[in-house]
């Protein structure tokens, strides 16, 4: 019998877009809830957002099975951390842990594109953005996933973050208020959904601030 399929691949891209925006005293993390494979929509309600600690929330797109394994790994590590230190991990600490966890699989990577958002020890918003093998950077806002090519330049245009080349280093948090940031996130997803077939169905927005964690949803185009 002759071979009928293309060569087997351990990876798939299940699509989806993630955005995080840091403000002076809040952080907004958002992602759509569509999960696709090729031209199929597998489900319209799959959350890409994972609460890793009280003040650290991760949004991930890429290969769902790897993302799932990564989330479980981080949850297990965070449980150990809580037993050893009797406290929740801070967002910058979680950021380093995520980088190490990704790099640990450098030669058989997790095909996961993450943004980590949260509040640092001073209660200031922070966003960390990653590649699949663990390179990471602290920024004021970021986007990852299938719609990132549409979203990122729009955020650059709207938020005009100070150049990272400036000395002394400028604070990267955005000047927007919390509600302005949430509105901006809604706009960028509505726009990305127009052109990116892997983004749509529903938008899940998580807002972190001094008051705690708050979640809201917005419907997106389903085509």
Partner 1 sequence: MTRKTSLTMESNQSNQHNSLLASEADSQRTLYPYVTGTSVVAIKYKDGILMASDMGGSYGSTLRYKSVERIKPVGKHSLLGASGEISDFQEILRYLDELILYDNMWDDGNSLGPKEVHSYLTRVMYNRRNKFNPLWNSLILGGVKNGHKYLGMVSMIGVNFEDDHVATGFGNHLARPILRDEWHENLSFEDGVKLLEKCMRVLLYRDRSAINKLQIAKITEEGVTVSQPYSLKTFWGFSAFQNPTVGAEGSWWVVVRWVRPNPDQKKLRRPPLLLPLILPPRSPQLAANLDA
Residues in contact with partner 1 by CB under 8 A are: 1-5, 7-12, 14, 35, 37, 40, 42-43, 45-46, 63-65, 68-69, 108
Apex CA 19: angle with CA 190 and CA 32, to 5°? 50
Q: Based on CB atoms, which residue is closest to partner 1, 44 or 51?
A: 44
Q: Which of 35, 29, 203, 172 is nearest to 114 (CA)?
A: 29
Q: Based on CB atoms, which residue is closest to partner 1, 39 or 86?
A: 39
The least CB distance from residue 145 to partner 1, in Å, is 16
Burial 65-94 (b: 16+ CB within 10 A, else e): ebbeebbebbeebbeebeeeeeebbbbbbb
Q: Based on CB atoms, which residue is closest to partner 1, 3 or 83?
A: 3
Q: Based on CB atoms, which residue is closest to partner 1, 13 or 96?
A: 13
Q: Based on CB atoms, which residue is closest to partner 1, 6 or 166?
A: 6
Apex CA 70: angle with CA 140 and CA 28, to 5°? 25
The least CB distance from residue 198 to partner 1, in Å, is 14
The least CB distance from residue 212 to partner 1, in Å, is 28
Q: Are 117 and 136 in contact (CB under 8 A)?
A: no
The least CB distance from residue 151 to partner 1, in Å, is 24
The least CB distance from residue 106 to partner 1, in Å, is 15
């Amino acid at each position: 019998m002759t071979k009928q399929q293309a060569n087997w691949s351990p990876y798939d891209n299940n699509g989806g877009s993630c955005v995080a925006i840091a403000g002076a005293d809040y952080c907004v993390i958002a992602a759509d809830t569509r999960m696709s494979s090729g031209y199929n929509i597998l489900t319209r309600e799959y959350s890409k957002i994972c609460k890793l600690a009280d003040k650290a929330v991760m949004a991930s797109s890429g290969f769902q099975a790897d993302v799932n394994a990564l989330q479980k790994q981080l949850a297990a590590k965070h449980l150990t951390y809580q037993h050893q230190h009797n406290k929740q991990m801070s967002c910058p600490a979680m950021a380093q842990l995520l980088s190490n966890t990704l790099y640990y699989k450098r030669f058989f990577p997790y095909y996961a594109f993450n943004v980590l958002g949260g509040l640092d020890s001073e209660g200031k918003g922070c966003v960390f953005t990653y590649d699949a093998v663990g390179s990471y950077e602290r920024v004021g806002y970021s986007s990852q996933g299938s719609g990132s090519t549409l979203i990122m330049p729009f955020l650059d245009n709207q938020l005009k973050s100070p150049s990272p080349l400036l000395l002394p280093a400028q604070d990267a948090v955005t000047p927007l208020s919390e509600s302005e940031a949430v509105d901006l996130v809604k706009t960028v997803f509505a726009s990305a959904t127009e052109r990116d077939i892997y983004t749509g169905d529903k938008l899940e927005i998580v807002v972190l601030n001094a008051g705690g964690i708050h979640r809201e949803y917005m419907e997106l185009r389903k085509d």
